[in-house]
Amino acid sequence: MNPEKDFAPLTPNIVRALNDKLYEKRKVAALEIEKLVRDFVAQNNTMQIKHVIQTLSQEFALSQHPHSRKGGLIGLAACSIALGKDSGLYLKELIEPVLTCFNDADSRLRYYACEALYNIVKVARGAVLPHFNVLFDGLSKLAADPDPNVKSGSELLDRLLKDIVTESSKFDLVGFIPLLRERIYSNNQYARQFIISWILVLVSVPDINLLDYLPEILDGLFQILGDNGKEIRKMCEVVLGEFLKEIKKNPSSVKFAEMANILVIHCQTTDDLIQLTAMCWMREFIQLAGRVMLPYSSGILTAVLPCLAYDDRKKSIKEVANVCNQSLMKLVTPEDDEPDEPKPVAQKQTEPNPEDSLPQQEGTASGGPGSCDSSFGSGINVFTSASTDRAPVTLHLDGIVQVLNCHLSDTTIGMMTRIAVLKWLYHLYIKTPRKMFRHTDSLFPILLQTLSDESDEVVLKDLEVLAEIASSPAGQTDDPGDPDGPDLRVNHSEFQVPTSGRANLLNPPSTKGLEGSPSTPTMNSYFYKFMINLLQTFSSERKLLEARGPFIIRQLCLLLNAENIFHSMADILLQEEDLKFASTMVHTLNTILLTSTELFQLRNQLKDLKTLESQNLFCCLYRSWCHNPVTTVSLCFLTQNYRHAYDLIQKFGDLEVTVDFLTEVDKLVQLIECPIFTYLRLQLLDVKNNPYLIKALYGLLMLLPQSSAFQLLSHRLQCVPNPELLQTEDCLKAAPKSQKGDSPSIDYTELLQHFEKVQKQHLEVRHQRSGRGDPLDRRVVL
């Protein structure tokens, strides 16, 4: 420093002392400065006061010499003390050089700067509030200072500033929020602790409504919640808890929509505490805001659904996620199926893009377990919000269906998540069928694929959804539906799924089409499509047919009309070119028909062919049942067409007898002994009116080798009274013209010819396979 330079009104002694390396001498100089400034204040000489402050600032506090900077700091503090209440007039000039010294490399100098600012603020009190942002910015840096003395000094200054803010009613919260939003993303644990402590103070001040600005800092709070320090995490939990209490007290003033996306992001993090806290907030938001949250449903489901599959290690998160899921589902009502209202020309954007509003959240917004974000097209953002100014809130299903489809398609997703997805789909088809049918074509393949799921519960829920699709009036092709929606009219070609290598189930009868069965109530267009694709799935996945086929069909018979199901499947199988599969499928359907309790009413309907509907059903089933000779006989036994059963058995002599054929005859004998055919066994007592029943049973007996089934049937026939009647020609002449079960409206001759035609087709196929060396049939070597 130039000793010849004029520092007036500071005396040379004061200047020398301020530059001294000893603290005591600088302190003496400060006292002299304080006395000098007091005199200027008494004289109201503001020019000299400003000159003193400017000299201390420029020539000392901002000097290159460290001792001069220390002298300048203590001199500025002395000026403030001397000014007293008038220091507010010079705060800018007093504070700025001190804050500059906060960045000094010398830790002692940083400490002196902190001490000087403490004295300045202590004198000015509330007058420093217009300069709060620069003070807060400087303190936030000192909070992370590596020197413990500097950190200790900053804490004293911090407490003083908090007291001033708490007791003041002039705090500029609006001006402070941008700085808080910026500083809240600091990764330093001390800076984070400093931020959290200030938020706690602001929340506790009655005159400061920080809740209005919560969307600005909520993301940063959740990031601080993931800090490694337990104390910081605990402090952050307290802050978030206080905010949640305020939200519950004043839900009408909360900007739920602006925070929904933030919660969605943090509900997907891998940190358990963050995820649980965010999920709890989401639960409260859904319950408090109600339908305001509907536009964010797709994002919420993306976050919530994977959590439903968590194990007991994350039981708390799973339970809260389940409540969120159920609460959100309840928000969807039939009103949401109404046509969308015209959109306003200009909509107010209530929610900024997450990438714009959360610039520093990289690494914390991971998709989490089971995330499906990567599957979404670039043109769709599941977090896109809708304007909350629109009333009522419109439910947009595109994003929701896409999320549900994504999770259902992901084979790694847990069972409970898949069940929840299917419950959502079922709920949406119940509440908003018209809108949902726009998405049915995209959902249908994955719903069919889900039938192969390992869980019976998943398959059952899947069948409920498919059954609702197949039976909903909204799926009728003759229903014009929403004039603004897509055309749902479907022809047969749209039902067909391309296959490779062979023709299959995909040529439904032209006379039936979408009308289903003429003898049963008409189902919608998707019913027949469902039946076609279900049989195609069974054909391509034989293990599924063996393991789940009966279960699936039985459940469908409970959920839909059993007659419709059997009638439509019989129609489709009639066109099946894979005769081996047709035979297997017919055998499966027949077993279900004869043994399942779910088919009790249908069996009773077929027992007595008194109505035209039941006769049409019998003829329809019969034509497909012809793919399997033994099942055809069993159908005749069920419908009490005993004479025709006898005629069929007579034709068995022309068939190629295989081990599989004899096995099926064996199973039929076992079925005859079951409760289902109790009425048939009792009819054996009426020999006069049922001669063809007895002859048919003897025909089966003659087909069987000497086996346990042979013995079983033989013993049963030995119980028939007066068997001699079967050996006379007179009994045939004496038989009534209309035997039990015969219906004059059924052309049995034509049915028998159809049976012979189908069996010839099977024989030709077997011979072709035999020529290729395909060992599909096991022949009996005589």
C-beta of residue 61 within 8 angstroms of C-beta of residue 104: no
- Quick: pLDDT tens for 701-722: 999 988 899 999 999 998 888 6
Helix (H, G, I), strand (E, B) or coil at 603: helix
d(CA 683, CA 740): 9
State the burial class of residue 143 (Cβ atoms within 10 Å of its Cβ: 0-12, 13-18, 19+): buried
Distance CA 246, CA 190 (A): 27
Mean pLDDT of the chain: 83
| Residue 343 DSSP code | P
Distance CA 677, CA 675 (A): 5
What was the pLDDT predicted at 391? 52
- For residue 584, the model assigns a pLDDT of 94
Band (pLDDT 50/70/90 cuts) for residue 221 is very high
Tell me what pLDDT residue 724 has.
60
Give the CA dihedral 469, 473, 477, 478, nearest 10 degrees: 180
Q: What is the DSSP letter of 294?
A: G
Instruction: State the residue for tokens 């001040």.
Output: 205
CA dist., res. 257 & res. 247, Å (int) = 13
Give the H or E element holding residue 31.
helix 23-42
Return the number of other C-beta atoms located less than 10 Å from residue 682's C-beta: 10
pLDDT, position 384: 39
pLDDT surpasses 90 at 562: yes
- pTM of the full structure: 0.79
Higher pLDDT, 484 or 493: 484
Q: Which residues contact 24 (CB under 8 A, 6 or more apart)?
A: none
Lowest mean pLDDT among 51-55, 477-481, 688-692: 477-481
C-alpha–C-alpha distance, residues 650 and 30, integer Å: 128
Q: What is the DSSP string of 376-427?
A: S-TT--TT----TTSSSPPP-HHHHHHHHHHHHH-TTS-HHHHHHHHHHHHH
Burial 565-593 (b: 16+ CB within 10 A, else e): bbbbbbbbbbbbebbbbbbbbbbbbbbbb
- 429-470 pLDDT, tens per residue? 999 999 999 999 999 999 999 999 999 999 999 999 999 999
Sorted by sequence, the CB contacts under 8 Å of residue 780 that are 6+ apart come out as 657, 658, 659, 662
Residue 722 is predicted with a pLDDT of: 65
464 vs 426: CA distance, rounded Å: 7
What is the reported pLDDT for 723? 53
Which runs of consecutive H residues, i.e. helices, occur in 168-255? 173-183, 189-204, 214-224, 230-249
Lowest-confidence segment of 237-241, 392-396, 457-461 by average pLDDT: 392-396
User: d(Cα 518, Cα 16) in Å, to the nearest integer?
Assistant: 114
pLDDT band at 1; cut points 50, 70, 90? low
3-state secondary structure of 771: helix
Please tell me the predicted confidence (pLDDT) of residue 163.
94
Residue 508 has pLDDT above 90, yes or no: no
Alpha-helical segments (H) within 506-561: 525-540, 542-559
CA 309 vs. chain centroid, Å, equals 11
Picking from 395, 394, 413, the residue whose alpha carbon sits closest to that of residue 405 is 413
Helix (H, G, I), strand (E, B) or coil at 779: strand
CA distance 564 to 566: 6
Tell me the angle at which helices 230-249 and 189-204 cross, rounded to the nearest 10 degrees: 30
Encode 426-493 in three state secondary structure. HHHHHHCHHHHCCCHHHHHHHHHHHCCCCCHHHHHHHHHHHHHHHHCHHHCCCCCCCCCCCCCCCCHH
CB atoms under 10 Å from CB of 73, counted, come to 30
Rg (CA), the chain: 43
pLDDT of 351 > 60? The answer is: no
**Res 496: pLDDT:** 32
The pLDDT, as a whole number, for residue 475 is 80
389 pLDDT more than 50 = no
Q: Which two three-digit tokens encode residue 557? A: 């018979």
At residue 151, does pLDDT exceed 80? Answer: yes
Q: What is the separation, in whole angstroms, between the first and last Cα of the chain?
A: 126
Residue with tokens 């939003």: 181
Q: What is the Cβ-side half-sphere exposure of residue 147, based on CA atoms within 13 angstroms?
A: 18
How confident is residue 609, by pLDDT bands cut at 50, 70 and 90? Answer: confident
Q: What are phi and psi of 345, to 5 degrees?
A: -65, -40
Q: Which of 636, 618, 640, 627 has the alpha carbon at shortest distance from 563?
A: 618
Q: Within 13 A of 694's CA, how many CA atoms are on the CB side?
A: 24
Q: What is the mean predicted confidence (pLDDT) over 43-56?
A: 93
Spatial CA neighbour of 623 closest among 584, 586, 672, 577 = 586
Quote the DSSP letter at residue 342. P
Q: What are the tens digits of pLDDT across the range 58-90? A: 999 999 999 999 999 999 999 999 999 999 999
pLDDT at residue 346 is higher than 70: no
- Say whether pLDDT at 626 is over 70: yes
Which two three-digit tokens encode residue 443? 């959902």
The CA angle 609-615-620, to the nearest 5 degrees, is 135
| Residue keyed to tokens 């209490």 | 245
Handedness of CA 162, 164, 169, 172 (dihedral sign): negative
Tokens of 87: 């220091």
Q: Amino acid letter at 155? A: E
Tell me the C-alpha distance between 79 and 485, whole Å. 77
Look at residue 38 and tell me whether its pLDDT is greater than 90: yes
Pairwise CA distance, residues 671 & 95, whole Å = 100
- Do residues 402 and 382 make contact, with C-beta atoms less than 8 angstroms apart? yes
25-62 in b/e form (b: 16+ CB < 10 A) is bbebbbebbbebbbebbeeeeeebbebbbebbbebbbe
Looking at residue 378, its amino acid is: S
Q: Does 520 have pLDDT greater than 50?
A: no
- pLDDT surpassing 90 at residue 343: no
Instruction: Give the per-residue pLDDT at 729.
Output: 53
Decide if pLDDT at 330 tops 80: yes
Q: With helix as H, strand as E and coil as C, how does 708-739 read?
A: HHHHHHHHHHHCCCCHHHHHCHHHHHHCCCCC
Which residues contact residue 347 at a Cβ distance below 8 angstroms, ignoring those fewer than 6 apart?
386, 387, 389, 390
Residue range 542-551: mean pLDDT, rounded:
93
- List C-alpha distances in Å: 330 to 151, 183, 323, 405: 52, 39, 11, 20
Res 340 pLDDT > 80:
no
d(CA 415, CA 422): 11
Average pLDDT over residues 198-221: 94
More confident residue, 370 or 644: 644
Look at residues 126, 137, 34 and name the one whose alpha carbon lies nearest to residue 88: 126
* Confidence at residue 535, expressed as pLDDT on a 0 to 100 scale: 95
Q: With 60 as the cut, is the pLDDT of residue 98 above it?
A: yes
Section 318-343 average pLDDT: 86
Alpha-carbon distance of 419 to 308, in angstroms, equals 9
Q: How far apart are CA 704 and CA 696, in angstroms?
A: 13
pLDDT in tens, 398-418: 999 999 999 999 988 999 999
Per-residue pLDDT reduced to its tens digit, 726-781: 454 555 455 444 445 456 678 888 888 888 888 888 888 877 776 655 444 443 33
| CB-based contact 35:41 (threshold 8 Å) | no
Q: Give residue-wise pLDDT tens across range 245-294.
A: 999 999 999 999 999 999 999 999 999 999 999 999 999 999 999 999 99
Q: Establish whether the linkage from the previous residue to 392 is cis, with ω within 30° of 0.
A: yes
Before 9, cis peptide (omega within 30)? yes
Closest CA to 470 of 534, 394, 405, 526: 526
Of 339, 297, 337, the closest CA to residue 428 belongs to 337
Alpha carbons 239 and 199: distance in angstroms, whole number:
7
